Structure 1
Amino acid sequence: MSMLPGPMAITAPTEQMREKGLEEDEIRKMSMSATHPGVRQRLWGAQARLDPTVSYEEFTFWAKVEREMEMEEGRRMKALTSGQGVMGAIKGYFNLNAYEDDKTKNDTSRSLQTHEEVTQWSKDEKTPVIKDDDGTSPIAPSGTHDIDAEWRQASRALRTATWGGIFYLITTDILGWGQTPYVFANTGYGLGVGIFILMGIAAGVSGWMIWRTFLGLDSSRFPVLSFGDPFFRLFGPGARHFINFTQALQMFLTVAVVLLGQTQLIAQLGESVDLCYIVCGIIAVVVSIASGYMRSLKHLGWFCNLSVWINVVSFIIICVAAAKYGPDPTAAVNNGILPKSWATNPVPVKTFVGTPPAEYQQTDANLFAAKFNGINSMVYAYSGALLFVAFLSEMRQPLDFWKAVFLAQAFITVVYVFFGAFAYSYYGQYSYATITQTVKPLSLQVLSNVLSLLTGWLAVFLYFNVGMKTVYIEVGQEIFNAPPITTRKGKWLWWGLGPVYWIIAFIVAMSVPEFSAFTNFVGGLFSLNFTYSFSGVMYLGYAIQEGARLPGEGFDPYTGQTIRHDTGISRWTRGFMKNWYITIPVTIFTGAGFAASGMGTWAAVLALESAYGPGGSLTTSWTCTNPFSS
């Protein structure tokens, strides 16, 4: 049954009429004392999304209303752009200006309407009164604080992204293409192609599950803005704190991973002067600290666009250089377990359809562990799902997100498989995790490394910005009452804590001797779970909550009360069994994600042990020895 109103409007209930002229505090006191159990006066928007007094049923009630409004807005937009030919329709679909211009021609009261009979203003209350199909249950006739047209218009104005724009953002995840030949060096052609396709499909499924959960929980009143928000609404504040802590830790370790990669690139660029390795690390962290003084991402929009073209140029350079000149084995040999003599007297390139034998493995002689190291790198390349909630929160029509996620994952998978197999065919066992360090001749290697440095520093800043903001807002502000980041005091505190964050990440990065094994550890323990396991947990919780509903339960917009007949394990069991055709496959998917995470983390730990142990790469970053100098 539609949540949108019928053709007739009704007057506000007597309880709301008594509220007219009262202050908000007086209304709140009446509600708390049960004198008037009417709709509670709340904050709306970002400040209200974590209100503990809002029930799951209320979140989903307004989410359903929001989706129906968006569908009607989409129909109006389609009508405005019809009759313009194929190119006109395409242009109109990706351009919101025509629709927005039409909306602004109407007065504020009309800006909220979803069809002719949906909303009409109550003359005495100045409130848009909405009714259900049967003429009962108005959605929220409680004064100007409910479904306020101007407020919603302002809220919706912040959501301007189209699915085409989100497709572009997701495909920036193609930055992972540089690791794909290394995956094939661990797994061989057969397993490499198969797992790339399987993981690509699974990443699309994860995006779909995040999308479905978002649609069921998000509204303009109670927006979903971060990965932890759905967990708060489904499982409570403890689950949200765990997700936020884990996300911040992943971002921190990712910063350390990229710092280590930047250090290696600088070291290879400075090999001709035997530049001290720890100096290379200091250069990397100093540049990173300087970029960290920017608190906003908006100034980097042009560089994000530029980075895509930088990657296209690098892609072409590496393909041409690989086919014409073959590999430089130095990076793969000196930073792994391949025989050290191969750095100066390399054996011929060799490729394998099946898993390469131990003597051709870069990180671990244990073939089972080696295969999982490759899978970890594969997952690391697909690990964009962590940002999907943020992307959805910016969309004007989040119902269209599925188009972006499936097209983007298909495109990324094709590029990954092609480039990985192509470069592996010419580089073989020397396909290092940072593929630009395998390029020959030296001139093209220098150019590729410089381009990789530029895009790498962008990644460092992005991960720092997201990770540091998560720590500052969720820990600093919420637990330690730090000043808001937008204030003067908050700005100075941000600037003071930023270098501390970088220095700790620098210490972690410089303590790891093997870049690919460290990358695989982060990928196995964190990226794999955020890409596959946690999205499964999120959707499983949503499916169970929806299946547990009993007749007569739900949110009453008249009184602001939630009716629920039972709680506890019996409710969760009923929800699981009622939607068994959803919950059982999702449970298997989620369990497979956690199992893969456990095995992948174990494989990465074994690789780190091999790097630290006898015969391993003992080139720790705390020495001055440049591993690329002869």
Structure 2
Amino acid sequence: MSMLPGPLAVAGPTEQIREAGIAPDEVNQMTLAGKHPGVRQRLWGLEARLDPTVTYEEFTYWAKVEREMEEEENQRYKSLTAGQGFMGTIKNYFNLNPYEDAKANASPPALAATAWNGNEKAPAVAGDEAGTSPISPSVTHDFDAEWRQAARALRTAGWGGVFYLITTDILGWGQTPYVFANDGYGLGVGIFLLMGIAAAVSGWMIWKTFVSLDSSRFPIVSYGDPFFRLYGPWARHFINFTQAIQVFLSVAVVLLGQTSIIAQLAGSVNLCYTVCGVIGLVVSMASGYMRSLKHLGWFCNMAVWINIISFIIICVAAAKYGPDPTSAVEYGILPKSWATNPVPVKTFVGTPPALYQQTDSDLFAAQFNGINSMVYAYSGAVLFVSFLSEMRRPMDFWKAVFTAQLFITVVYIFFGAFCYNYYGQYSYVTITQVVKPESLQVLSNVLSLITGWLAVFLYFNVGMKIIYLEVGQELLGLPPITTKRGKVTWWSFGPIYWIVAFVVAMSIPEFEAFTNFVGGLFSLNFTYSFSGMMFLGLIIQEGARLPGEGFDPSTGETTRFDSGLKRWVRGYKKAWRMSVPVTIFTGAGLAASGMGTWAAILALEAAFSASGSAVTSWTCVNPYYTG
């Protein structure tokens, strides 16, 4: 059933219709006095998304309206821009608001019936197929038209741009040879395929949940918002707290990796290792002052091409020159004598023996260290909600996520197996640091720095937004980020965030194990476990609906016949064909997280206990000094 208004129903005058001729202020006064019989006035928008009085049924009602309006706008956009040719299509794609631009350039007849105003019938109420409940025209004008136009102006990304964002963030192809070095060819290929399929399923579940709950009236802007609407405030607070830590540690991981690359680039001059970290920090801070993902469209496009160039360089160098073993030996548990007198490269179909492992002599733990790196490479799902919240047509997200997952899975397997064949046990987690000769290593490291700083910005952007919106604005009363005061406050708090992340990064001496720890404890759960929990809540809520229940937009009231555990059990049983597989999927994610975190902790212990195997980051000793 369509949720959009149809032709005006023939009906006798009602109190709502009589209000058509009065001023909006009078309607608001009547509402406050409890005399207004029409639509209950609400605070809509970013602040209203956390209104505890809004029910699940109301969220889903307006989400259905939003999706139909988006589809109608898309069809009108296609009709207005038809016949412009290939270049016209490309130009319209990069417009910030293509539909509004098309309307502005269209002839007057083309604009007929493009506005939903108060002279049309309101969306159908629950149980009312004809949709005969009219809404006050003044209310419709004030909130439906003006608010939605302003809200939609903030959503500018297309699915192609989101594809670039996903591939830029998830495209951790540089870690894939390290996975094969831990697990061998057989397990490496198998797990890459399995995790790639699972990551695509996770993206699909996040997408389905988002489009079922998001609207201009009640927008979803963070990973925690769906949990608030499905489980309650406690779930949102837990997710936001966990995500803030995960994103913060991801920033620290990238900063530590950037520090190591800069140190290797400056090895010939013996630049102080701590100074290398400060250089990475300053450049990262400069990138953090862009507050919107729309600023990243061309940067992400460029990053994909940089990745392709670096990909080709490393493959050619690996096949022709072999590995530089310095990084793999200095930062792992491989015998230290191999740094100056490396043994020949050796590869394995099964799990490599302990002598050829970089992080842990316990082979079971070593396998999970490889899997952790694999999960970390797929961990961009934590940003999917943020990407969706800035899309002008979220229904297209599935195109981006499935195309991106297929692309990166193929790239991961090919690049990982190819480089492992030539680098073997020296396949370090940052593969650019293994490249020979020095000239190509320098070029690869520079390209890696550029894409790494882009990844730092993505994580910082999301992490700071979570802290600012969920803690600063909500708990501390900071000004909205869209205001001038909010921008100044954002710019003031940014350096503090960066400096704390830098201190944490420089306090970690073992890059590989630290990366695996973040991947096992946080990235794995956000990519697989939490997305399953999110979708499971949606399935149960939908399955629990009883005939006659729903949201009535004419009164603003929700009808629900029961609540509590009984309702949740009924919803789970009714939707068992979906709820049972999703439960298994979620449980598998939690189990993998537990084992992966355990393996990472063992690797950290091994790195600290092995004499001279870890370089303390707070030092001026440059491990790459060649003098």
TM-score, normalised to structure 2's length? 0.91
Select which of 369, 381, 384 maps to 2:380: 384
Could you tell me how far apart the structure 1 residues matched to 2:348 and 2:574 are?
Answer: 48
Cα displacement (A) at 1:67 = 2.0
Cα displacement (A) at 1:88 = 8.9
> Does 305-314 or 234-243 show the bigger shift?
305-314
Amino acid at match of 2:226: P
Select which of 514, 534, 538 maps to 2:534: 538
Cα displacement (A) at 1:101 = 5.2
1:138 maps onto 2:133 in alignment:
yes
Q: Give the equivalent residue in structure 2 for 1:17.
A: 18
Q: Decide whether the 8 Å contact of 2:186 with 2:349 is kept in 1.
A: yes
Cα displacement (A) at 1:489 = 4.4
1:417 maps onto 2:420 in alignment:
no
Identity %: 71
Could you tell me how far apart the structure 2 residues matched to 1:66 and 1:107 are?
Answer: 25
Q: Deviations over 1:283-305 (max 9, x none)?
A: 22233334445555555544333
Could you tell me how far apart the structure 2 residues matched to 1:254 and 1:380 are?
Answer: 10
Q: Deviations over 1:281-340 (max 9, x none)?
A: 222223333444555555554433332222222111101100000000000000000000
Q: Give the equivalent residue in structure 1 for 2:439.
A: 443
Cα displacement (A) at 1:616 = 6.0
What does residue range 607-618 of structure 1 map to in structure 2 within 5 Å?
Answer: 607-615=603-611, 617-618=613-614
Q: Decide whether the 8 Å contact of 1:167 with 1:407 is kept in 2.
A: yes
Q: Give the equivalent residue in structure 2 for 1:59.
A: 59
When residues 480 and 78 of structure 1 are mapped into structure 2, their CA distance, relative to the original with a 3 A threshold, is: closer
When residues 184 and 60 of structure 1 are mapped into structure 2, their CA distance, relative to the original with a 3 A threshold, is: same
Q: Give the equivalent residue in structure 2 for 1:48.
A: 48
1:620 maps onto 2:621 in alignment:
no
> Does 579-588 or 446-455 show the bigger shift?
446-455
Q: Secondary structure at the match of 2:398?
A: helix
Q: Decide whether the 8 Å contact of 1:189 with 1:354 is kept in 2.
A: yes
Cα displacement (A) at 1:107 = 8.8
- After superposition, the CA RMSD in angstroms is 2.8
Q: Decide whether the 8 Å contact of 1:111 with 1:153 is kept in 2.
A: no
Select which of 211, 222, 227 maps to 1:226: 222
Could you tell me how far apart the structure 2 residues matched to 1:493 and 1:92 are?
Answer: 35
Select which of 306, 319, 323 maps to 2:302: 306
Amino acid at match of 2:15: T
1:69 maps onto 2:77 in alignment:
no
Q: Deviations over 1:237-268 (max 9, x none)?
A: 22112211111111110111111111111111
Could you tell me how far apart the structure 2 residues matched to 1:285 and 1:98 are?
Answer: 38
Cα displacement (A) at 1:559 = 1.0
Q: Give the equivalent residue in structure 2 for 1:460.
A: 456
Select which of 575, 578, 596 maps to 2:592: 596
When residues 392 and 111 of structure 1 are mapped into structure 2, their CA distance, relative to the original with a 3 A threshold, is: farther
Could you tell me how far apart the structure 2 residues matched to 1:417 and 1:305 are?
Answer: 22
Could you tell me how far apart the structure 1 residues matched to 2:465 and 2:83 are?
Answer: 46
Could you tell me how far apart the structure 1 residues matched to 2:88 and 2:197 are?
Answer: 30
Could you tell me how far apart the structure 1 residues matched to 2:290 and 2:169 are?
Answer: 22
When residues 52 and 108 of structure 1 are mapped into structure 2, their CA distance, relative to the original with a 3 A threshold, is: farther
What does residue range 233-312 of structure 1 map to in structure 2 within 5 Å?
Answer: 233-295=229-291, 299=295, 301-312=297-308
Q: Decide whether the 8 Å contact of 1:6 with 1:134 is kept in 2.
A: no
Aligned residues: 617
Amino acid at match of 1:185: A
When residues 605 and 233 of structure 1 are mapped into structure 2, their CA distance, relative to the original with a 3 A threshold, is: same
When residues 269 and 95 of structure 1 are mapped into structure 2, their CA distance, relative to the original with a 3 A threshold, is: closer
Amino acid at match of 1:560: G
Q: Secondary structure at the match of 2:551?
A: strand
Amino acid at match of 1:171: T
Amino acid at match of 2:335: P
Q: Deviations over 1:349-406 (max 9, x none)?
A: 0011111111100001111111111111111111111221222223333222212211
Q: Give the equivalent residue in structure 2 for 1:189.
A: 185
> Does 262-271 or 476-485 show the bigger shift?
476-485
Could you tell me how far apart the structure 1 residues matched to 2:110 and 2:554 are?
Answer: 24
Cα displacement (A) at 1:181 = 0.6
What does residue range 397-546 of structure 1 map to in structure 2 within 5 Å?
Answer: 397-546=393-542
Q: Decide whether the 8 Å contact of 2:118 with 2:137 is kept in 1.
A: no
Q: Secondary structure at the match of 1:45?
A: coil
Q: Decide whether the 8 Å contact of 1:49 with 1:223 is kept in 2.
A: yes
Could you tell me how far apart the structure 1 residues matched to 2:313 and 2:277 are?
Answer: 26
When residues 29 and 366 of structure 1 are mapped into structure 2, their CA distance, relative to the original with a 3 A threshold, is: same
Could you tell me how far apart the structure 2 residues matched to 1:202 and 1:559 are?
Answer: 42
What does residue range 315-394 of structure 1 map to in structure 2 within 5 Å?
Answer: 315-394=311-390
Could you tell me how far apart the structure 2 residues matched to 1:485 and 1:81 are?
Answer: 34
Q: Give the equivalent residue in structure 2 for 1:116.
A: none
Cα displacement (A) at 1:100 = 4.6
Q: Give the equivalent residue in structure 1 for 2:157.
A: 161
> Does 244-253 or 617-626 show the bigger shift?
617-626
